């Protein structure tokens, strides 16, 4: 499997629009709820079934259980009730309440919300777009593996639905596309990445089979400011077990 290519340093030509950021925040907050339901699924933890490894907070520490998927030896997805990490040894962290990419490093061991939300903002959008594409692939897998009826039940307790349940994979793909367009990547690079993401929606990708997009070059700065969310302010239901 080919890994993520190093990003070229480019000047920031634009900012992530407030519309995209609001949409991303709505979707990611909902998605963290859905992942939490997948963890609590009576028939078995879907994150574990997908290939994630579980790590609970250290004894005496309050916080969310951490789930890590090693897509390859040098590329990882990490989930908590408060956000997501996506990348290699260096990647991005995105808090569910901000949808702002922060520069983060992948570390062994448990990582908490307070530390992750204090990280500096990232100038890269390519990983943010790829993360949205990966979520689309995961949601397609859920529907294929356990059915649309399960996903509908999982969303029943969420009062701020961002879209119809059947549309969740497509809406994440559209968000990924919008972020790529926002980043003003070369047309051939956009086509290649979007082609990978359209392909990814049809297969149940796991840690051994998910293809990393081949053209993740480009960077862009963020201008929108919002306060990081402390793990202490999270409702107890968002601390995954």
**DSSP letter string over 222-237?**
-----PPPPGGGS-GG
If one counts every other C-beta atom within 10 angstroms of the C-beta of residue 114, the result is 14
- Burial of 204 from C-beta contacts in 10 A (0-12 / 13-18 / 19+): middle
User: What is residue 241's predicted lDDT score, i.e. its pLDDT?
Assistant: 55
The DSSP annotation for 178-191 comes to HHHHHTT--HHHHH
Can you tell me the mean pLDDT for 129-140? Answer: 97
**Which of 39-48, 56-65, 99-108 has the lowest average pLDDT?**
56-65
Of 40-54, 104-118, 213-227, give the lowest mean pLDDT range.
213-227
Nearest by Cα to 88 from 102, 101, 107, 65 = 107
Q: What is the dihedral of CA 238, 239, 240, 241, to 10 degrees?
A: -140
**Could you say which DSSP state residue 167 is in?**
G
Q: What is the mean pLDDT of residues 45-65?
A: 89
Mind listing the pLDDT tens digit for each residue in 135-151?
999 999 999 999 999 99
Q: How far is CA 17 from CA 104, 133, 179, in A?
A: 22, 18, 9
Q: Listing from the earlier edge strand, what are the strands of the sheet with 66-72?
A: 53-55, 66-72, 75-80, 83-87, 90-95, 101-105
Q: How far apart are CA 43 and CA 208, in angstroms?
A: 24
Q: How many residues does the chain have?
A: 241
CA 200 – CA 77 distance, rounded (Å)? 16
Least confident interval from 91-95, 215-219, 233-237: 215-219
Q: Which residue has 């609970």 as its token pair?
A: 56
pLDDT level of residue 185 (50, 70, 90 thresholds): low
Question: In the structure encoding, which two tokens stand for residue 52, read together?
Answer: 């994630």
Higher pLDDT, 230 or 23: 23
Whole-structure pTM value: 0.72
């Amino acid at each position: 499997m080919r890994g993520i290519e190093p990003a070229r340093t480019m000047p920031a030509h634009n900012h992530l629009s407030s519309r995209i950021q609001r949409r991303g925040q709505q979707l990611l907050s909902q998605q963290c709820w859905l992942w939490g339901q997948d963890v609590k699924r009576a028939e078995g933890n879907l994150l574990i079934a997908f290939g994630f490894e579980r790590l609970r907070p250290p004894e005496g520490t309050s916080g969310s259980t951490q789930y890590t998927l090693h897509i390859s030896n040098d590329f990882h997805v990490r989930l908590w009730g408060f956000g997501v990490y996506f990348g290699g040894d260096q990647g991005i962290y995105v808090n569910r309440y901000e949808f702002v990419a922060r520069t983060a490093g992948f570390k062994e061991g448990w990582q908490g919300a307070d530390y992750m939300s204090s990280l500096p903002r990232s100038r890269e959008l390519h990983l943010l777009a790829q993360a949205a594409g990966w979520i689309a692939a995961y949601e397609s897998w859920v529907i294929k593996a356990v059915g649309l009826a399960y996903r509908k039940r999982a969303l029943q307790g969420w009062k701020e639905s961002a879209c119809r349940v059947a549309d969740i994979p497509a809406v994440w793909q559209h968000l990924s596309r919008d972020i790529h367009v926002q980043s003003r990547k070369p047309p051939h690079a956009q086509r290649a990445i979007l082609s990978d993401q359209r392909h990814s929606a049809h297969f149940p990708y796991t840690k051994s089979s998910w293809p990393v997009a081949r053209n993740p070059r480009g960077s862009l700065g963020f201008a929108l400011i919002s306060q990081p969310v402390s793990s202490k302010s999270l409702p107890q239901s968002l601390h995954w077990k």
